[in-house]
A and B are shown apart, each in its own frame.
Chain A
C-alpha cells in the first residue's frame, strides 16, 4: 500500500521568505508524484507533477519540487513567497502500476504568508 507523509501541518512565514514543504512517500515501485494547492474557498489545483526524467520539476507560480528517489522524498520549494501563496498544500502519490491509478494524499500543510 502507498502512503504519504507531510511533516509540517502549519507553516507561518513573511512575504519574501523562502518556503520548503517536506513530503515523503512509501511505495515499493515506480511512482508518479504531485503537489496540489487549495486556496481558501477554492478547489484543488495541480501545482506540479513528476512522472519521469529530470528530478527537479518546475511548476506554476514559481514553485518547484525535487524528487530524491533514495530518500523517497518530493519536497516543494519556492524561493520567495507572496501573500497570495496562503493556501493548503497537498502532496500526493500514485503507483505507476497501481490499480486504477488512485491518488493517495498526504495530510496537507497549511501555509500562512503574512504581508
Chain B
C-alpha cells in the first residue's frame, strides 16, 4: 500500500519552544492530509484537515494559532506546535488520502511522539 512517513518519530523539547513535525506521502500525491492526536489509552482525535495550497480546517476546540499547519505541496504537510507546554505532550499522527486511490481510504504515518519538559 501507499506509504506515509512522519519525521521526527520522537522529539523532546523545552516548554516555550516550537516544534515542527513533517508528514510526507512517499509514493503518491495527496491534496488532503489529516492530523490526529492520540492520548494515552484513548482514541485518535482529529485536529485539523490540511489542504494543499489553502488554509487548514481545524476541528472545534483546536487552537489554530497554537497548531500551525502548512501544506505547501502535494506530498508534504507540516504541523508546528508553537510555544509548547507539557500538556501538548502527545502522540501526533498524520494521514493522507491517495488521490488515485479508493475514496475514503487513508494511509497513516508512524506517528510522532512529542514530550514537552
Mark A residues whose CB is within 8 Å of B.
Answer: 32, 34, 36, 42-46, 49, 51, 90, 94, 96, 100-108
Contact = CB atoms under 8 A, between A and B. Distances in A.
Interface of B: 1, 32, 34, 36, 42-46, 49, 57, 93, 95, 97, 102-106, 108-111
Nearest to A33: B104
Chain A interface, DSSP helix/strand/loop, else mixed: mixed
A102 B43 contact: no
B104 A101 contact: yes
- What 8 pairs between A and B have smallest CB-CB spacing? A43-B110, A44-B108, A32-B104, A107-B43, A105-B43, A105-B44, A108-B43, A100-B49
Nearest to A46: B105
A43 B108 contact: yes
Contacts of B1: 46
B104 A51 contact: yes
Given A44-B93, A46-B105, A51-B104, A104 B46 contact: yes
A42 to B, nearest CB: 7
A36 B103 CA distance: 16
B32 A103 contact: no
A30 B45 CA distance: 22
A101 B105 CA distance: 9
20 contacts: A43-B108, A43-B109, A44-B93, A44-B95, A46-B1, A49-B104, A96-B104, A100-B32, A100-B49, A100-B57, A102-B49, A103-B46, A103-B95, A104-B46, A105-B36, A105-B43, A105-B45, A107-B42, A108-B42, A108-B43
